[in-house]
């Protein structure tokens, strides 16, 4: 937005508040002013009131009376970033700040305030504010009640007047038919024509197409033109702390065609840890396919499509973050995610995804994410960075405790399907493992775990606490069997080989990133050096250009194995035992 456009805005219609503030004298939070009405007329007060009104602009450096003349301001000069951070810290509101200069070099500071979420009221000093003329007043009871009783309208059910049935992708419809037929055990559904499929699933109203149909089945070029925020952006960084991404992918086609390609792209840089303990032999992937798919599908189903931002996925060797526009649906918070049955923000879209088996029934998707992650010995899924304007899920690829993963695997392998550990039981076991005595334990869950001899009760009365059973401590013995320092060459080479099969070559820094959180840099260099010496790996180049490829000995052993296989197959064929 330019200065010329800003000064034409109307205070009521466009929800803008002009402040001259030439000397930068507007208080951030009202300071110690004894008069409460004057204390409210501060930056936080106006941000709160404008958010409650549906969003708007707080403009410094422009005269308040019309015509709005630019006078320039020193308000928060060279402290814009600090101001933005402080406002978010104190209100939870994600504002945008822009500094503009006119031809004479006069500075105008513009704070863009987003609209409040449906049913949400923001407060300053515990009072919900609204603008009344030049004053900031407590919100009227009528307005407050109207807001808190709001119901979120179903955007996905709205008709998109700009498109027709011809804008629906035939291949995407076929994918939907296959998924629905399989989930509902209804092969007859495969014979339906496109119009009948869309009608049966309420994706059209007569000949009019809904936004749910567009997002799930629309042609790529139409989605990009009508609702570009429906795209998903995947960014890969070797190091999760890097600001700049190493590779970026855009997925902006119909979701029924993009979902498989999206997972395959993430899986390109995936790997796994081989686990072997007695009879238990299994691999733990860095990123569990079921967890990642469920998390992405949830983001697509529950995001706010009225916000013009896309879903962003940030992947590195050690973590994966999924950031979805819009806060949690009504009734959901970071504190009640597990098992909560909420009202979907996009009911029609979610209904179609449930009927086709893409997402779980309401309240079960997050359960699955927690269950699969914790049983692999990883840290719990983290939603703590979420707020009223976006949901952020952080997933770690690092295995915190391999012994716990083996323990859960051993327990589950002995139980019938209808007796398997629930997500709540796994969460309780994980909290007990971490010795979290301040966790709110459910007595009924503890009772079940005690009956199964999975935990033991220690102490008396107020000093009572719980520990995992002896079986767990047999897996995690005093020698630190699963510590990050005890990987052998075969395990390390297995992981390195997976990486080289995908990328052909790698530098030492790639290997260090590959084992981050599992082996130290020194241990990685030591293992790689031994593998080079045994000619399992081959070192190429020199200095900063040094890289590694699969070595001669490994290639030779693979050639011998392949040749032996050919000879064996020929012999069987000659003997008439193989067609």
Helices of type H across 139-169: 141-148
DSSP state letters, 257-316: HHHHHHHHHHHTT--EEEEEETTEEEEEESS-HHHHHHHHHHHHHHS-TTSS--EEEEE-
- CA nearest to 321, candidates 262, 393, 269: 393
pLDDT of residue 400: 86
Percent of the chain with pLDDT over 70: 90
pLDDT band at 134 (very low <50, low <70, confident <90, very high): confident
pLDDT tens per residue across span 356-386: 998 876 557 889 999 999 999 999 999 999 9
Please, what is the Cα angle at 257 between 255 and 258, to 5 degrees? 65
Q: Is the pLDDT of residue 186 over 90?
A: yes
* Residues in CB range of 387: below 8 A, 6 or more apart: 92, 94, 327
pLDDT of 478 reads: 38
Instruction: Judge whether residue 11 has pLDDT over 50.
Output: yes
3-class SS of residue 188: helix
CATH no. for 485-579: 1.10.10.10
pLDDT of 253 > 60? The answer is yes
The DSSP bridge pattern shows strands 280-285 and 311-315 to be unpaired
Residue 534's pLDDT band (boundaries 50, 70, 90)?
confident
From the options 3.40.50, 1.25.40, 1.10.3720, 1.10.10, give the CATH code of 402-475: 1.10.10
Give me the pLDDT at residue 484, please: 42
Banded model confidence at residue 485, pLDDT cuts 50, 70, 90? very low
Give the orientation angle of helix 170-184 with respect to helix 347-355, to 10 degrees: 60
DSSP SS3 for 3: helix
Give the pLDDT confidence score for residue 482 in this predicted structure.
Answer: 41
200's tokens: 């049966």
Average pLDDT over residues 248-254: 96
Give the three-class secondary structure for 251: strand
End-to-end distance of the chain based on CA atoms, in angstroms?
74
- Taking the C-alpha atoms of residue 330 and residue 342, their distance in angstroms, rounded to an integer, is 7
User: Domain ranges in the chain?
Assistant: 3-148, 165-396, 402-475, 485-579
- Which of 510, 179, 144 has its CA nearest to residue 356? 179
Please tell me which residue, 381 or 513, carries the higher pLDDT value: 381
The answer on pLDDT for 115 being more than 80 is yes
- The pLDDT of residue 364 is 74
Across residues 284-310, what is the average pLDDT?
93
What mean pLDDT comes out for the span 254-280? 87
pTM: 0.76
Axis-axis angle for helices 402-413, 365-375 (nearest 10): 110
For range 147-170, the mean pLDDT: 92
Q: What is the pLDDT at residue 559?
A: 57
Q: Compute the mean pLDDT over every residue in the chain, rounded to the nearest whole number.
A: 87
Dihedrals φ, ψ of 129, to 5°?
A: -105, 155
> How much is the pLDDT for 498?
78
| Cis status, amide bond into 67, omega within 30 of 0 | yes
Q: Among all chains, which residue has been given the structure tokens 């050639």?
A: 559
Q: Looking at residue 570, what is its pLDDT?
A: 56
SS3 of 248, please? strand
Residue of 403, 366, 396 lying closest to 378 (CA atoms) = 396
**How much helix, strand and coil, in percent to the nearest 5, is found in the chain?**
40, 20, 40
Q: 499 pLDDT exceeds 50?
A: yes
* Average pLDDT, integer, range 235-253: 90
Residue 479, pLDDT score: 37
**SS3 (DSSP) at 159:** strand
Residue 138: phi and psi, rounded to 5, are: -60, 140
**Residue 562: predicted pLDDT:** 54
Query: Which pLDDT score, from 0 to 100, does residue 279 have?
Result: 64
Name the residue with higher pLDDT: 213 or 153.
213
CATH class of residue range 165-396:
alpha beta
How far is CA 561 from its chain centroid? 43
- When pLDDT is averaged across residues 345-365 and rounded to a whole number, the result is 85
Rounded mean pLDDT of 161-167?
Answer: 95
Cβ(258)–Cβ(310) below 8 Å: no
Least confident interval from 64-78, 465-479, 532-546? 465-479
Q: With residue 123 as reference, give the H or E element that holds it.
A: strand 123-124
Region 99-126 average pLDDT = 94
pLDDT confidence bin for 345, thresholds 50/70/90: confident
Mean pLDDT of 555-561: 60
56: helix, strand or coil: strand
Q: What is the token pair recorded at 47?
A: 């941000």
Closest CA to 60 of 75, 46, 43, 81: 75
Residue 431: which of 401, 475, 463, 395 has the closest Cα? 401
Distances (CA, A) of 134 to 21, 30, 60, 360, 556: 15, 16, 15, 50, 83
Beta strands in 330-403 (DSSP E): 390-396
In which band, very low, low, confident or very high, does the pLDDT at 516 lie, cut at 50, 70 and 90? Answer: confident
**Coil, helix or strand for 93?**
coil
pLDDT at 342 over 70: no
Tell me, yes or no, if the two domains 402-475 and 485-579 fold the same way. Answer: yes
The 10s digit of each residue's pLDDT in 391-423 is 999 999 988 888 899 889 888 887 888 889 999
- CATH homologous superfamily of 3-148 equals Schlafen, AAA domain (3.30.950.30)
What are the distances in angstroms from CA 176 to CA 179, 183, 197, 351, 355? 5, 10, 9, 13, 10
Phi, psi dihedral angles at 311 (to 5 degrees): -70, 135
- Residue 323 is encoded by which pair of tokens? 């950031």
**Is pLDDT above 70 for 146?**
yes
User: Is residue 537 classed exposed, middle or buried when 0-12, 13-18 and 19+ CB atoms within 10 A define those classes?
Assistant: buried
Tell me how far apart the alpha carbons of residues 57 and 7 are, in angstroms, rounded to a whole number: 11
How many whole angstroms separate alpha carbon 135 and alpha carbon 38? Answer: 9
Sheet containing 123-124: order of strands: 123-124, 127-132, 135-138
Placement of tokens 């045994």 in the chain: 534
Residue 481 has pLDDT above 70, yes or no: no
Q: What is the pLDDT of residue 278?
A: 62
Confidence of residue 564 (pLDDT cuts 50, 70, 90): low
């Amino acid at each position: 937005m330019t200065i010329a456009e800003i000064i034409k805005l109307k205070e009521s219609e466009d929800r803008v508040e002009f402040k001259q503030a030439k000397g930068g004298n507007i208080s951030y939070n009202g300071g110690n002013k004894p008069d409460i009405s004057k204390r409210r007329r501060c930056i936080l007060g106006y941000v709160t009131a404008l958010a409650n009104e549906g969003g708007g602009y707080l403009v410094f450096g422009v005269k308040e009376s019309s015509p709005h003349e630019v006078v320039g301001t020193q308000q928060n000069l060279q402290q814009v970033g600090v101001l933005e951070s402080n406002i978010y810290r104190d209100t939870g509101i994600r504002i945008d700040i822009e500094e503009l200069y006119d031809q004479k070099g006069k500075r105008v500071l513009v704070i863009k305030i987003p609209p409040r979420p449906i049913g949400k009221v923001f407060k300053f000093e515990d009072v919900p504010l609204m603008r009344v003329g030049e004053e900031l007043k407590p919100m009227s009871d009528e307005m407050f009640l109207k807001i808190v009783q709001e119901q979120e309208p179903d955007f996905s059910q709205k008709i998109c007047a700009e498109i027709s049935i011809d804008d629906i992708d035939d291949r995407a419809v076929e994918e939907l038919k296959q998924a629905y037929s399989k989930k509902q055990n209804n092969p007859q559904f495969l014979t339906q024509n496109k119009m009948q499929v869309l009608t049966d699933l309420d994706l059209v109203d007569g000949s009019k197409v809904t936004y749910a149909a567009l997002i799930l089945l629309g042609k790529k070029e139409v989605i990009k033109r009508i609702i570009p925020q429906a795209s998903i952006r995947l960014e890969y960084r070797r190091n999760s702390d890097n600001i700049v991404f190493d590779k970026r992918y855009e997925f902006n086609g119909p979701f029924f065609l993009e979902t498989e390609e999206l997972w395959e792209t993430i899986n390109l840089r995936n790997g796994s840890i081989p686990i072997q303990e007695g009879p238990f032999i299994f691999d733990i992937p860095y990123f569990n396919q079921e967890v990642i798919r469920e998390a992405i599908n949830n983001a697509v189903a529950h995001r706010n499509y009225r916000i013009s931002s896309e879903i962003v996925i940030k992947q590195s060797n050690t973590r994966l973050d999924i950031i979805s526009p819009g806060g949690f649906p009504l009734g959901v918070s970071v504190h009640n995610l597990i098992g909560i049955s909420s009202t979907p923000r996009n009911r029609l879209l979610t209904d179609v995804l449930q009927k086709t088996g893409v997402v779980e029934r309401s309240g079960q998707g997050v359960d699955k994410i927690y269950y699969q992650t914790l049983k692999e010995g990883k840290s719990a899924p983290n939603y703590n960075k979420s707020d009223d304007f976006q949901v952020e899920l952080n997933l770690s690829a690092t295995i915190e405790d391999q012994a716990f993963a083996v323990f859960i695997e051993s327990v589950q392998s002995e139980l019938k399907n209808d007796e398997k550990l629930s997500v709540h039981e796994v969460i309780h076991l994980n909290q007990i493992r971490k010795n979290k005595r301040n966790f709110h334990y459910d007595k009924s869950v503890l009772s079940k775990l005690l009956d199964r001899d999975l935990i033991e009760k220690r102490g008396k009365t107020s000093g009572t606490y719980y520990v995992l059973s002896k079986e767990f401590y047999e897996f995690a013995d005093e020698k630190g069997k699963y510590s990050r320092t005890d990987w052998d060459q075969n395990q390390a080479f297995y992981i390195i080989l997976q990486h080289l099969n995908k990328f052909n070559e790698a530098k030492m820094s790639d290997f260090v990133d590959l084992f981050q959180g599992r082996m130290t840099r020194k241990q990685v260099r030591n293992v790689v050096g031994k593998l080079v010496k045994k000619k399992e790996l081959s070192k190429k180049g020199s200095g900063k250009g040094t890289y590694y490829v699969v070595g001669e000995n490994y290639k030779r052993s693979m050639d011998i194995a392949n040749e032996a296989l050919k000879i064996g197959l020929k012999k069987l064929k000659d003997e008439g035992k193989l067609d």
